[in-house]
Structure 1
């Protein structure tokens, strides 16, 4: 029997979404998120294995994560399957939800924002993000289709 389970970055929908993340980041910031060449699958694999944490959510009324690279999955201590079922609001403690909501709204209006803040893993570990970037995702027709965030600078909070 063959194993037909694909890693996230091997799935066609994730490959398309990875390219959308990269293109949208460059559109809003004028910079490349990742310096990589190759096939679309190689690009998606490089983004999934990148040394920074990268997440995105959709446009639901209570947005659900639709992407988390390997670093993000490790940080939030979740599998791809569990992460991509979780509302993104669950990464912030209740006391910082108002600031998180303000940041999401600001980004929707401006296109991208810099951010910092405390987030929480699935097991309750807290970490303080520094110098993160949040940006709007645009689909292939340049229509808004969610938001993504990236960061590499964080500290565990005891």
Structure 2
């Protein structure tokens, strides 16, 4: 599956197709909506992009690359949309944490989702932060896994 990596805005409906894939996969696998009130008002894409928690998604390439990062993710990782959607997702973790991250992705691939992930990530400035309580799930389109997404609202800066 090819992902449009254009920045979400009014012109592309805030990446409506990506938002639908992320939200519908979450609902199907976790049996609960990603947005607190369900997001059935026809404005899911805008609401995901402006959500007060981080939402990220990467493709299913052998070295997955992010194709979606809402504003909270861009701020936390200190990157623009264009920087985020060119970033191999492994580079969001420090080199020593990449093996742990790979185990996480394999676990999600087997189970379809996890809702208890914690780990250390790194912003473009080198600032490190620990995330906790992250949910990571497979993105399913027409019966096949096309990537994975993550959402979390809990992080703390590390020294």
TM-score (normalised: structure 1) = 0.90
Question: 8 Å contact 2:121–2:129 — kept in the other structure?
Answer: yes
Question: 8 Å contact 1:9–1:44 — kept in the other structure?
Answer: no
1:108 corresponds to which residue?
Answer: 109
Which of 132, 136, 139 matches 2:138?
136
Structure (1 or 2) with the greater helix fraction: 1
Structure 2: gaps of 5 or more residues: 1-5
Return the index of the structure with the highest Cα Rg.
1
Q: Matched residues in 1 for 2:137 and 2:152: separation?
A: 12
1:142: how far off?
Answer: 2.2
1:51: how far off?
Answer: 0.7
1:3 corresponds to which residue?
Answer: none
Question: 8 Å contact 1:77–1:122 — kept in the other structure?
Answer: yes
Shift in CA distance, 51/82, structure 1 to aligned 2, threshold 3 Å: same
Question: 8 Å contact 1:9–1:15 — kept in the other structure?
Answer: no
1:82: how far off?
Answer: 1.0
In the TM superposition, 1:7-156 aligns within 5 A as 8-10=8-10, 11=12, 14-34=15-35, 35=37, 36-39=39-42, 42-113=43-114, 114-139=116-141, 141-156=142-157
Query: CA deviation digits over 1:116-157, x for unaligned, max 9?
Result: 000000111111001001100011x12110000000011011
Question: 8 Å contact 2:14–2:49 — kept in the other structure?
Answer: no
SS for the counterpart of 1:25 is: helix
SS for the counterpart of 1:37 is: coil
CA RMSD of aligned residues (A): 1.5
